[in-house]
Structure 1
Amino acid sequence: MSTTIYKADASPPARTVLMIADLLGIKYNGYDINPILREQDTPDMTKKNPMRTIPFIEDDGFCLGDSHAIILYLLDKYGKPEHSYLYPTDKQKRATINQRLFFDCGILFPYLRTIMALTYTGRLTELSKSMIRNIESGYRMLDTYLSDSMYLADDVMTLADLSVFTTMSTLHGLVPIDSTKYPKLMNWFINMSEKEICKKINQPGAEQHVAGLNALMENNKINQKSKL
């Protein structure tokens, strides 16, 4: 059996997959891809993952893209009874986890992806008011989701928390969570940040991602000024 995770450590979705793989004890080969150089666009990579996104996996010849689909697949295939807290069988809890995952891929991460795309292509020098407003809207929804439980879908950490946390780690670095406006979200973020799995895998990549985006925005600003 052979599992390869195609990833970039700075990528929030890749960090999610790497944390789940670690929690499940999966022995995998890590294959680094530079998304800025569009290394995922080669014919071989595109054949394996037509979405041309990071991360994607190759598991015994089976290829799968999208971090949310990947973590569900990995848990289904490699999870043991002691991992059931990540995706419990209770139908309502599972539905809530699914909804939070869909929130991450459909609402929260697209806010970040817009910033990334404009920054990497040299067009963004600083976050616009609308970008900040969208991010704040995401924070407000997450704070509300945390009204009835310690974590996003349960009173224990689930797949939803790990997936949202990687996105939030970069967003928080760009637009810090206001603990006065969003106290429950801030408490959740601090709690997640203190978990060993997050310190080990998420934190280094998140710091790299935030620093890289800020540096590129500054560079874009200099380049745009030089053209005036």
Structure 2
Amino acid sequence: MVEANFVSAAELEVELEWKVIDLMRLEHKNAEFIKVIIIIFSFYFKSKSMFSHMIKHQVNPQHTIPLLIFNDVVIADSHSICTYLSEKFGETDRLYPKDLVKRSLVDSRLHFDSGHLFARMRFLYEPILYNKSSEMPEDRIQYIQTAWDIMERFLENSLYVCGDKMTIVDLCLSATESLTEICSMDQIAHRNVIMWLQRMSQLPYYEELNRDPSKKLQTCVIELQKKNAGEF
């Protein structure tokens, strides 16, 4: 999730220079994207320029975004990018704990995001975005809602997903959650998730870097769904 990297960088006070890749034009499938670097990131940490250059590299055989380039480091997964940024630029380990037990819990819930919640969202959206489907099958919506049930248990006795302090998993999961608003949450059954999202929305950068881009994607999905159905 690109938005997860937006908010993680903002929390760490790291400025990133972004190269936009148009998925609807399938620019991520372009051969140049996987052979030669076409994305340049410049880092500014605490307003001090750290580097700015372009390299040639075997970039991304997965054809996925986001993609991070830092010196000779190439990282092609949003969760891995978040952990890298936290390790590289975090002045403390508050976002990604060094304690093995605490880190294992964060890692396990990052895997929950990538393997369950985000994957289920993709199953709902991608047929509409790329295969001209006009359907949002009820069973796929329910599959997302069962992931919320799991999150409800994560948040049963804590303010955040891994305890009472925010970590990168909150930034990642809130980015994914923002994209699933097409599926309505139960105000009672998902009470803890809703309160957690409200808590996350108080972050000063949340609306601009997370909520607004997510709304644009959801609008795109709805409009394409209608177009695929021949409604306009």
The alignment's TM-score, normalised by the length of structure 1, stands at 0.87
* CA RMSD across the alignment: 1.5
Which deviates more from structure 2 when the two are superposed, residues 121-130 or residues 52-61? Answer: 121-130
From 86, 101, 105, the equivalent of 1:75 is: 86
- Does the 8 Å contact 1:115/1:124 carry over to 2? no
Whole-angstrom CA distance in 2 between matches of 1:170 and 1:57: 22
From 9, 15, 23, the equivalent of 1:35 is: 23
Structure 2 residue 169 is matched with structure 1 residue 160: yes
Whole-angstrom CA distance in 1 between matches of 2:9 and 2:188: 35
Structure 2 residue 155 is matched with structure 1 residue 146: yes
Whole-angstrom CA distance in 2 between matches of 1:70 and 1:98: 13
Question: How do 1:189-204 residues align onto structure 2 when only pairs under 5 Å count?
Answer: 189-204=197-212
Equivalent residue letter for 2:178? S
Question: Which has the bigger relative contact order, CA under 8 A and spacing at least 6?
Answer: 1
- Name the SS for the 1:45 alignment partner: helix
Equivalent residue letter for 1:66? D
Which deviates more from structure 2 when the two are superposed, residues 178-187 or residues 134-143? Answer: 178-187
Alpha-carbon distance, 1:122 to partner: 4.1
Whole-angstrom CA distance in 1 between matches of 2:132 and 2:146: 24
Question: How do 1:58-207 residues align onto structure 2 when only pairs under 5 Å count?
Answer: 58-81=69-92, 84-172=93-181, 174-207=182-215
- Does the 8 Å contact 1:115/1:127 carry over to 2? yes
Whole-angstrom CA distance in 2 between matches of 1:27 and 1:167: 22
**What's 1:53 paired with?**
64
The alignment's TM-score, normalised by the length of structure 2, stands at 0.85
Q: Which deviations, in whole Å up to 9, do the C-alpha atoms of 1:183-209 show, x marking residues without a partner?
A: 111111111122212123101101101
Structure 2 residue 9 is matched with structure 1 residue 21: yes
Alpha-carbon distance, 1:90 to partner: 2.8
Aligned residue pair count: 209
Which deviates more from structure 2 when the two are superposed, residues 189-198 or residues 68-77? Answer: 189-198
Q: Percent identity?
A: 25
Alpha-carbon distance, 1:63 to partner: 1.4
**What's 1:211 paired with?**
219
Equivalent residue letter for 1:60? N
Equivalent residue letter for 1:217? Q
Whole-angstrom CA distance in 2 between matches of 1:92 and 1:150: 19
- Does the 8 Å contact 1:16/1:162 carry over to 2? yes
Q: Which has the higher helix share?
A: 1
Q: Which deviations, in whole Å up to 9, do the C-alpha atoms of 1:99-151 show, x marking residues without a partner?
A: 11000001111111112220112433231111111011111000011112111
Whole-angstrom CA distance in 2 between matches of 1:22 and 1:186: 23
Whole-angstrom CA distance in 1 between matches of 2:132 and 2:15: 40
Whole-angstrom CA distance in 2 between matches of 1:142 and 1:203: 19
Whole-angstrom CA distance in 2 between matches of 1:129 and 1:199: 29
